[in-house]
Amino acid sequence: MRRNFAKAYLLLSPSLFWLTLFLVIPVLFIGVISFTTNGDFGAIIYEFSTEAYTSAFSSLYAKVIWQSIWWAFIATVVCLIIAYPFAYFIAHSGKWKNLLLLLVMVPFWTNLLIRLYAWIILMNNQGVINNVLLDLGFIEEPLALMYSPGGVILGLVYGFLPFMILPIYSSIEQLDKTYLEASEDLGAGPVKTFLNVTLPLTFPGILAGFIITFVPAISVFVVTDLFTGGKLLMVGNVIRDAFLVEMNWQLGAALSLLLMILVLLSLMIFMRFTSRKDRKLLV
Amino acid sequence: MLGVQMVQLENVMKQFDDTYVVDDLNLDIKSGEFLTLLGPSGCGKTTTLRMIAGFEKPTSGKILLNGKQVDELEPYKREVNTVFQSYSLFPHMTVFDNVAFGLKMKKVPKEEIQERVTKALKLVQLEEYGNRKPKQLSGGQQQRIAIARAIVNNPKVLLLDEPLGALDLKLRKQMQLELKHLQQTLNITFIYVTHDQEEALTMSDRIVVMNKGKIEQIGLPYEIYERPQTRFVADFIGQTNILEGTVTAINGEQATMKFADQVVEIPNTTDVTLNEEVYISVRPEKIKLSETPFEGSINLKGTFKEKIYVGSVTKIVVTMANGQDITVNESHDKIDELTNTNDVYVSWSPKNSVVLKK
């Protein structure tokens, strides 16, 4: 037994090395910095202090963190609602499959900034959508498509939709079609087959899509920057500003750690609602 | 019950791209019958089964189930159930929920579901496995669950698509008998698809031999084996020797024909006519080897070419004077008795020859 463990660690050592170098050590740095004292012009004075946490827990920042999680959650749910039928359609589109997948992948490969600028042209108060609606007489004055929580969520959905579509698509694609035939054979029509067989068997794809959409969506700051000009904040904006604008590395580090803990907690809560088997299928 | 037409296929055609995989099929299957569709892969047997189940729609023709036309009906509206080749047990459900699925879909009351599922699991001797997941069972057990999941619905017809293909030989033999007994107990019509001729002979009431989308022969297992009507059937079912001959006379039930320098009278089972070129098929186990010809038998002279030990018997390939090889199954003792293997007679009774049209 002992020798087997040694062998396992030996085989794992390359990945353990990279994980230590690029994950554990940086997180430790952040942890240490968050407990130091803030000096003039952002200097780090190595004296123990919990000041960063005191301000991080203040209602102002707590509200931003909560808001980020909430917006990211809504955006993820909207992504899921759009992505599932979309992925289902692609998986059943026969010879068009590859073309449709390419159409999903192209924005995925394009920089988010560029894609968001394109949306600004559309959604601006003087943008295409408002102008068309005004000209057609549907509205009297421009709609506030941007500069609103709705705009932020729209930006998040748009930015992260491919992350949701791809894992769901792959789980639908890999679903053995004979399960569906077996279900029909046993008297289940298309709706019952979908609810009883397709949906539970593609759940690992939904779970994977949910996690890889939700986690980065919480901390993204370009959407709020571009769509609200910094009027609305997500925790990503606050952390960036703490590091780069206020030169308060301690606060940035504390917020980063808090965010990490909150994300892990929310994933754990999410996992609670999923059966053990589904998680096993995912890994 | 036996005698009522349960499944009727009338001029059923199925076209995929440019080829007819099922070509003008006519077949009546009686209630309570164990019917096997037998043929090589690509002969259209599985497509036929899938059309009865409803997964494929015939290009033309009619399918009747218990007198009612069903060929446009969706699978979930047909009173048939299928045992799939890959079992297709739902991996996210327990064994119990798998078996209960069909009943739940039909909104059968809970107590009745409990009762019927328990009974079905008992029937396949797996009543204690209800809480397991399919993945936790062996291949043979999964197979039984797949059968239980189908028969629990009391289908009019049970369709089985090579259900024993994935099992090892010993388990397969055992399951063949179990399935046969199950069918007799439940008195459900079974339509069984296989490419394994021995399996078909063991289990079936009737066998339909298919080739290239058409029916070659329908008959009792005995008829299919002993009295094949085409060269394909003779060749596909068991092993056989095919000789070429010409009909020289016909006298009532008998036909005289000439082949390999022999003139013999053999039963005319396939209505051959005078001067017709025919095949004569003779099974290896019907042929004897000896150093002297037998009275009243067909005797051909030849030399040993090859000896293949297959366990229960030894297969001997003998080359005739005209260069053709004939395979003979003989006991090991008999072969040991032969002294001169360069000069032997292969002999068989004329009644063991089967005449086949070219």
Chain B residue numbers with beta carbons less than 8 Å from the beta carbon of A185 are 53-55, 75-76, 80-82, 150
Interface test with B, best of A180, A181, A184, A185 (most B CBs within 10 A): A185
Is B311 buried (19+), middle (13-18) or exposed (0-12) by CB count in 10 A?
exposed
Nearest to B105 among A181, A192, A277 (CB): A192
Question: How far does the CA of residue B123 sit from the closest CA of chain A (Å)?
Answer: 19
Residues B20-48: pLDDT tens digits? Answer: 999 999 999 999 999 999 999 989 999 99
Please state whether beta strands A44-45 and A37-38 pair in parallel, antiparallel, or not at all (unpaired): antiparallel
Distance CA B159, CA B189 (A): 9
Of B92, B105, B150, the CB nearest to A200: B92
Residues A279, A206: Cα–Cα separation, whole Å: 11
Question: Does residue B350 have a pLDDT over 70?
Answer: yes
- Residue pair B39/B209 in contact (Cβ under 8 Å)? The answer is yes
Of B19, B27, B76, nearest to B48 (Cα)?
A: B27
**Mean pLDDT, chain B, whole residue set:** 90
Cα nearest neighbour of B100 on chain A: A186
Q: Which one of B46, B101, B135 would you mutate to disrupt binding with A, by most A Cβ within 10 Å of its Cβ?
A: B101
Kindly report the nearest CA distance between residue A198 and chain B, in angstroms.
10
Domain definitions of chain A by residue range:
59-282
As a whole number of angstroms, the distance between CA A35 and CA A50 comes to 6
Residues of A in contact with B81 (CB under 8 A): 185-186
Chain B nearest CA to A175, separation (Å): 11
CATH superfamily, domain A59-282, is MetI-like (1.10.3720.10)
Reduced to 3 states, what is the DSSP secondary structure of residue B176?
A: helix
Looking at per-residue pLDDT, the higher value among B295 and B241 belongs to B241
Residue contact A186–B102, C-beta within 8 A: yes
B106: closest CA of chain A, how far (Å): 7
What pLDDT shows up at residue A275?
59
The pLDDT of residue A280:
52
> Cβ contact (<8 Å) for B88 and A178?
yes
pLDDT in tens, B205-256: 999 999 999 999 999 999 999 989 999 999 999 889 998 888 888 887 888 8
ipTM: 0.84
Selected residues 14-73 of chain B with any CB under 8 Å from a CB in chain A = 53-55
H or E stretch at B93 = none
Nearest CA-CA distance, residue B125 and chain A, Å: 22
Domain covering B239-357 in this structure, CATH number:
2.40.50.100
CB contact under 8 A, A185 and B75: yes
Q: Is A228 in the B-facing interface, judged by CB distances under 8 Å?
A: no
pLDDT 10s digits, B129-171 = 999 999 999 988 999 999 999 999 999 999 999 999 888 888 8
What pLDDT does B1 receive? 45
Q: Which strands make up the sheet holding B5-16, listed edge to edge?
A: B19-30, B5-16, B60-65, B68-69
Interchain CB contact of B107 with A (< 8 Å): no
CB pairs below 8 Å between A and B: how many?
60
For domain B5-229, the question of CATH label 3.40.50.300 is answered with yes
Strand segments (E) across A21-69: 37-38, 44-45
Determine contact, residues A207/A280, Cβ cutoff 8 Å. no
Q: Do A183 and B74 touch (CB under 8 A)?
A: no
Q: What is the DSSP letter of A197?
A: I
CB contact under 8 A, A184 and B91: no
CA A215, CA B261: separation in Å to the nearest integer?
87
pLDDT at B64 over 90: yes
Residue A188 is nearest to which of B105, B133, B150, comparing CB atoms?
Answer: B105
Q: How far apart (Å, rounded) are the C-alpha atoms in residues A189 and B333? A: 63
All CATH 2.40.50.100 domain ranges of chain B, comma separated, are 239-357
pLDDT at B122 exceeding the cut of 60: yes
Q: State percent of chain B over pLDDT 70.
A: 99
DSSP line for B303-349: EEEEEEE-SSSEEEEEEETTS-EEEEEE-HHHHHH-S-TTSEEEEE-
Would you call B74 and A178 a contact, using CB atoms and an 8 Å cutoff?
no
**Cβ-nearest to B102 among A178, A187, A189:** A187
pLDDT at position B344 is: 87
Q: A189 contacts in B (CB within 8 Å)?
A: 74, 76
Q: CA B261 to CA B274: how far, in whole Å?
A: 18
Task: Check if the beta carbon of residue B95 is closer than 8 Å to that of residue B146.
Answer: no
Closest CA in chain A for residue B88? A179
Given a cut of 90, whether residue B307 has pLDDT beyond it is: no
User: Among A191, A177, A201, A181, which Cα is nearest to B150's?
Assistant: A181
**Chain A nearest C-alpha distance from B162 (Å):** 14
Q: B86 and chain A: CB distance < 8 Å anywhere?
A: yes
The per-residue pLDDT for A1 is: 53
Contact A187 B53 (CB under 8 A): no
Query: Is the Cβ of B81 closer than 8 Å to some Cβ of chain A?
Result: yes
pLDDT tens digits for chain A (283 residues)? 566 788 888 888 888 899 999 999 999 999 999 999 888 777 888 888 888 898 888 888 888 888 898 999 999 999 999 999 999 999 988 888 999 989 888 887 888 888 888 888 888 878 888 888 888 888 887 777 777 888 889 889 988 999 999 999 999 999 999 999 999 999 999 999 999 999 999 988 998 899 899 988 998 888 888 888 778 888 889 999 988 888 889 999 999 999 899 888 888 887 777 655 555 544 4
- Tens of pLDDT, residues B69-94: 998 899 999 999 999 999 999 999 99
Contact between chains at B92 and A201 (C-beta distance less than 8 A) = yes
Residue to substitute from B65, B85, B92, interface A, most A β-carbons within 10 A? B92
User: Which chain A residues are within 8 Å of B56, Cβ to Cβ?
Assistant: none
First CA to last CA distance, chain B: 40
